[in-house]
Amino acid sequence: MRFQLEPDNRGASDADLLDDLRKVATLLGKNFVTRDEYEGRGRFSSSTVQKRLGSWCKAHELAGLERIRYYNSSPKECLESLRRVADRLGKTTLTTVEYRSNGGLSLQILNRHFGSWKAALKLAGLTVSPLFHERASREELFENIERLWETLGRQPKTSDFAEPLSYFSCAPYKSHFGSLRKALEAFVESFENSLEEPEDGATQIAPLALPSTIVQRHKTGRGISWRMRFLVMRRDNFKCKIDGCSPATQPGTVLEVDHVVPWDAGGETVMENLQTLCQRCNSGKSNLPMREG
């Protein structure tokens, strides 16, 4: 698919930002809005509002809303907040998405007091979610955007960066790129640049199966470019080659591209040795061959 960005909000005036903040406050039935409450409901990023208007509290003052008192919360109050949300959900592990969506404090104040989300959970007597990522690479973040965009069939929004569709929240994107918008722009630029690269690897047809006694160097890299992944999925009609599931008929289906003959067994990264599998089938197949013997 083609990845096209929606109109940029960066040309909005201060009045537009304040009007949007008031709308979210009205939607919530409150006279103040935390940054986490604004994310996913507001038209803009909370960081944009803060930078343009001086601070989050200043934005509330200019919008005629009540100034937030949460930023003065003590470490003890922060830990009590974490435990309260975990108790409400009946869980001993907590993700940032769950915490924000259930009335938690700003993640910024937690980082300020404890240094990291992981450290805050530990002090609160909670465990870190298995989905927690210490530090995602640029490539992993781009792959997540691509998977979201193809699954949704549109540009992902802030609210889409949550389980189960997204492997990452918006936080690592803001950390890497400054904002989600800049991350999307960087992704599209990188994707378009990959389209201009000659597909030399696609013309190098290597044997799809090698005897286990023969050791041969690979002629192609293991990584699959975004363009090649798209071409493989389009060839396979965006359906899993094992169970036939597709995002078009089964929303939530995540498609991946797999080596038919595993890379470890000598399979090359060429169109003839690639296939579309859903995430479940690909995880089950792993590095096994498609057939026994």
Token representation of residue 30: 């409150």
Distance, in Å, from the CA atom of 228 to the CA atom of 261, rounded to the nearest integer, reads: 17
Contact of 243 with 265, CB cutoff 8 Å: no
For the chain, which ranges sit under pLDDT 70?
A: 1-2, 6-10, 36, 67-72, 100-104, 106, 129-136, 194-218, 286-287, 289-293
Pairing outcome for strands 93-94 and 127-128: parallel
Rg (CA), the chain: 23
Contact of 173 with 275, CB cutoff 8 Å: no
Question: Quick one: pLDDT at residue 23?
Answer: 93
Token representation of residue 231: 């071409």
3-state secondary structure of 98: helix
Question: Quick one: pLDDT at residue 66?
Answer: 77
Contact of 270 with 201, CB cutoff 8 Å: yes
Distance, in Å, from the CA atom of 195 to the CA atom of 148, rounded to the nearest integer, reads: 20
Question: Quick one: pLDDT at residue 214?
Answer: 34
Residue pLDDT, tens place only, 141-167: 888 888 888 787 788 888 888 777 787
Percent of the chain with pLDDT over 70: 78
Question: Quick one: pLDDT at residue 196?
Answer: 56
Domain ranges of the chain: 14-68, 72-128, 138-195, 201-285
Residues 6 or more apart in contact with residue 20 via CB below 8 angstroms:
42, 43, 44
Q: How many CA atoms lie within 13 A of 174 on its CB side?
A: 12
**DSSP structure class, residue 18:** H
Contact of 93 with 128, CB cutoff 8 Å: yes
Question: Quick one: pLDDT at residue 201?
Answer: 46
pTM of the model: 0.34
